[in-house]
Amino acid sequence: MKPITDRISFLPSSEDPLSADVYVIRGDERSYVVDVGSCDAAYNLISSLGKRTIVITHFHDDHMKNLKRLDVSDNELLLTVQDRKVLATKAYCDVSIDAAEDENGSNGSTGLKLGTIVEKTVEIRDGVKLVICPIPSSHAKGSLGVIVDDEYLLLGDGFYGSAKGYNVSLLSDEIRTLKGLSFTKVIMSHDEKIYSRDEVISELEGFYAKRTKDSPYIPYK
């Protein structure tokens, strides 16, 4: 684990297997885990924690594959509708969302982790202030960011585009959303550098300025 502050530390991403950075935020009563990765080291780390709440930034395997083998209750898992849909696929579970929800909205004996859907900003205070908020993203539909003490924004892969580049509409929404949030520094998955708020917003605005009238996407180059 590498420290960022006295409250935030992280397990760096890996390439084989591809596994995202896993962040642990230490609260007074519990630990808050942002993304669970896909590697054994991440699984072992998260399994060693006591009381914990898990936040998934988006549904890609390198960020949430370890959910398949972690024991977590639905009220300890915060995610988006898109994440839940992926968790209900055969790769993660052999039952449908409807079947699980028939059991009073709990995962019960089905093995499907429904979690708690985040559709608007959620604030948690536990000796540390966490703001969990939906972030429009070209990289993955249904992304979440986590702001710690109005300073650090854990953005996951939200800064990145898709294979096609940046979706013009989503990029505009993302820039507007980021400008409306309170943070001063940005931490991205797969990148150990800490960026300033202005650096990130300015770079996204630079991509947006390259949009053309006839294309819904802005290529990286």
Q: Which long-range contacts link 210-214 to residues 24+ away (Cβ below 8 Å)?
A: 211/168
Q: State both tokens at 36.
A: 């669970």
Of the candidates 113, 150, 115, which has an alpha carbon nearest to the alpha carbon of residue 133?
150
Largest CA distance in the chain: 53
CB of 212 closer than 8 Å to CB of 182: no
pLDDT given at position 111: 57
- Reported as a single tens digit per residue, the pLDDT across 30-70 is 999 999 999 999 999 999 999 999 999 999 999 999 999 99
- Reported as a single tens digit per residue, the pLDDT across 127-137 is 999 999 999 99
Ordered domains of the chain (ranges, CATH): 2-214 (3.60.15.10)
pLDDT given at position 110: 47
Helix or strand (DSSP H, E) at 100: helix 97-101
| pLDDT > 60? residue 81 | yes
Task: Give the predicted TM-score (pTM) of the model.
Answer: 0.90
Which of the residue ranges 65-79, 122-136, 165-179, 183-197 would you say has the lowest mean pLDDT?
65-79
| pLDDT > 90? residue 97 | no
| pLDDT > 70? residue 102 | no
Residues 6+ apart with CB under 8 A from 51: 29, 30, 31
CA-CA distance, 66 to 46, in Å (whole number)?
9
- Reported as a single tens digit per residue, the pLDDT across 14-25 is 999 999 999 999
Share of the chain above pLDDT 70, in %: 90
- Sign of the Cα torsion 118, 126, 37, 57 reads positive
Question: How far is CA 170 from each of CA 56, 72, 135, 167, rounded to the nearest angstrom?
Answer: 20, 32, 10, 5
Q: Please state the separation of Cα 160 from the chain's center in Å.
A: 13
